[in-house]
Amino acid sequence: MAPLDVDKVLAELDLNEKISLLSGIDFWHTAPVKRLGIPSIRTSDGPNGVRGTQFFNGVPAACFPCGTGLAATWDQSLIKDGGRLMGREAIAKGAHVILGPTVNMQRSPLGGRGFESFSEDPYLAGVMGAAVVSGIQDTGVAATIKHFVCNDQEHERQAMDAVLSQRALREIYLMPFQIAQRDAKPMAYMTAYNRVNGTHMSDHKRILREILRDEWGFDGLVMSDWFGTYTSADSINAGLDLEMPGPPRVRGNQTAIDVGLRKIQERTIDERVRKLLELINKVDKLNIPENAAESTVDSKETSEALRYIGASSHVLLKNEGQVLPFKRDKSVAVIGPNAQIACYAGGGSANLRPYYAVTPFEGIKAQGEGDVKYALGAAGHRRLPDLGRTVKTADGTKSGLTAKFFIDPPSAKERKQVDTVHVETSDILLADYKNPEITSPYFWVDLEGKLTPDESREWLFGVCVSGTANLWIGGKLVVDNTENQKQGDSFFGSGTIEEFGSIYLEAGKTYDVLVQFGSSATSNLRPTGTTVMAGGGVRVGGAVKTEAREEIDKAVKLAKEVDQVVVIAGLSADWESEGYDRKTMELPGASNKLIAAVAAANPNTAVFLQSGTPVSMPWISSVPAIVQAWYGGNETGNAVADVLFGKVSPSGKLPLSFPVKNEDNPAFLNYRSERGRTLYGEDVYVGYRYYEKVQREVLFPFGWGLSYTTFDLSNLRVEDESTDGKLVARVDVKNTGSKRGAQVVQVYVSQGAPSIGRPKKELKGFSKVWLEPGEQSEARVELDKKYATSFWDEEAEAWISEADEYEILVGDSSVSTPLRARFGVAKTTWWKGL
């Protein structure tokens, strides 16, 4: 298709057509105007993969490590390559626009979507975000950087007001977006749900127009987060181009009325439409047809790339006595709640249906040459494990269940069935399910399967639902979640709490499993907030009832019988998810007791932790080896095994500080919304900026990460190239160990005598260097001098670089910066823009 002549098209569009273009038409597509050749373009989540157009039973996709895992690589080139792979995935899914990356700040360890973001540090988040954006847009696909700005908690995320100083807003929260805009120029931005200093971001003229467009020179499209447009006139006048999803809820007819009332000028409508038309032209070269069929890029090359990124994200936190890497020919016990499940992603819109997902046990079993044995040790679920993993279809040929769709309830004598779908999971969301025969918000689904227990035990089942649901096992009603429903946090806050029931099941006997689900319209529960999941969803979980002490005893017994033990513990998509924040930093259930008991039973114990954000480690002094493994995407288990057995020497560094306990973190007193307000009382002292300022000990500092080899940093040289505003730091790096590995040279800057309080030092550059044993190389880190020295002057409403002496501090973490050099700024200057 030839590019649109934007001015000509604008002149030919009538007002109603223009207004139609300001909102989506469904969950993923923009509106077309056929008579003028304006196509509909497709968007798709998200931050760690490209789902396609379906939450429910979508086309499988490549799943990358979570955002904190990507940032833990500290490897911009690698992450840019990952962005290119995301772009190719989008093209396969017929998507023109990827809804990512996420570059929000991790104010607290408890943020529900902290795993999606990159870092507590705005510079690291910004350059990683820029790398992803650049990689995606190299393929012609548009990246949508999000959530602009201060979407740093889930509690009351659509209602809460982030109250913060202009300095904190500029130096911490806007800075990642500013760096990405400077270095990568995203084609689109997504506004956050929340308010900032009193105004919802979708209505925030000061930030959307004056800062983003006028000051930074952004010329692309601004869309809302899904259901995050709350006004018609205010959002259009503020610069929000596109309301998503569609059909419109606050625009449409209301916008036409607002134009008639002169609340909106038609030329402002034209400004908003122009940005959509320009985006269509930018992605036109993809030649993706409207409503394109979705396909996959499930190849050997994709798998190898995901495996390498996953292994590169691992951070070796501790390795006393060189317990790691394990010896392949020795026996191994793989223990823990995350060992035989693949925690490949966090929950919410970041989740997707992966091509496949390798569990840690599978990955370790494939590489281990000695006996590899398993024990659960402790349950780690927040909600009962997905029953779809345990059951089979009625004919016994497939794992999962058969979903039968009806336009009549189970009570109807002659029900009309309109669809049959095989589902691998019993956790289904039908927000974007479409069927031409379902024309009412009322419909019903029967999920059918067979369950054959391995042992005779009491089973516990749970059901949470956005809608209504009953669970029948062997003809017996076990869970009724249809009446007296209680509001919970499932399905983005639109669903119920998990209701439970139990039943004794006999080993070897096959039981019919039947879930009778009614769409969201069948429920009398009316959740608060604006995220409406039309169609609804249901999640059914089930597991054998276990006794914590009994499972730990089994694990300890096994640990004593083998040469080496790895405990795979942590969180999952149930614990870290869009829609709610964590309540504690603790590992779930009896995980802490399990780790302590196993470590006492076998001195050759390593713990691999899967989480997107920090967890507490009360057992840390008794465990010799600890690895932070994040959520690793499709290749989770293989990446774990690669690091465990030393196929890959870990080279990751923490992109965020791990405090000893939640009470230590700088946002502790100010996290969560109180009467609709969240006070960012820590100001610019986020993460290591705070811990170092108040001299508070942490479990592991920002930038921390060990290796299976050792490195020496020496001979720091700083070149002040004032003519082009650049500083160049050069450092000699030598691999002094016996294995190939990589070191991340981190460059921090500190001002000598600032006129206001500033952090002790701030990250301003880094370089990752790969070296063979005995090899030496030079790391070169280029710094932008004005970015390296400036803070936000609230009186001048501008950045200020003060005349002063500054120090460059170089090392391998925020607390280890032994190399130092100085440079000066001769004259105080103020600046704005990029």
Q: What positions carry a catalytic annotation?
A: 225
| Eight-state DSSP code of residue 285 | G
Helix, strand or coil for residue 268?
Answer: helix
Distance between CA atoms of residues 406 and 420, nearest Å:
9
| Eight-state DSSP code of residue 558 | H
| Eight-state DSSP code of residue 692 | H
Cβ-proximal residues to 369 (8 Å cutoff; 6+ apart), any chain: 328, 329
Helix, strand or coil for residue 463?
Answer: strand
Helix, strand or coil for residue 350?
Answer: helix
Distance between CA atoms of residues 493 and 526, nearest Å:
11
Helix residue ranges per DSSP H, 342-464: 360-367
Distance between CA atoms of residues 810 and 709, nearest Å:
20
Distance between CA atoms of residues 421 and 447, nearest Å:
9
Of 15, 77, 565, nearest in space to 331 by CA? 565
Of 347, 295, 339, nearest in space to 636 by CA? 339
Distance between CA atoms of residues 691 and 697, nearest Å:
7
Q: Is the peptide bond before 245 cis (omega within 30 degrees of 0)?
A: yes
Distance between CA atoms of residues 629 and 700, nearest Å:
15
Backbone angles phi, psi at 479, to 5 degrees: -135, 130
Tell the burial category of 663 from Cβ atoms under 10 Å away from its Cβ (0-12, 13-18, 19+).
exposed
Q: Is 152 left (phi over 0), alpha (psi -120 to 50) or beta?
A: alpha
CB atoms within 10 A of CB 487: 14
Backbone angles phi, psi at 638, to 5 degrees: -70, -40
Single-letter amino acid, residue 597: A
Q: Strands 511-518 and 444-451: what pairing? A: antiparallel
Tell me the HSE value of 77 on the side-chain side, using a 13 A CA sphere: 5
Distance between CA atoms of residues 214 and 796, nearest Å:
18
- Strand locations in 96-215 (E): 97-99, 142-148, 161-163, 188-191, 195-196, 199-200
Query: In what helix (H) or strand (E) does residue 405 lie, and over which residues does it extend?
Result: strand 401-406
Helix, strand or coil for residue 451?
Answer: strand
Q: Strands 161-163 and 677-679: what pairing? A: parallel
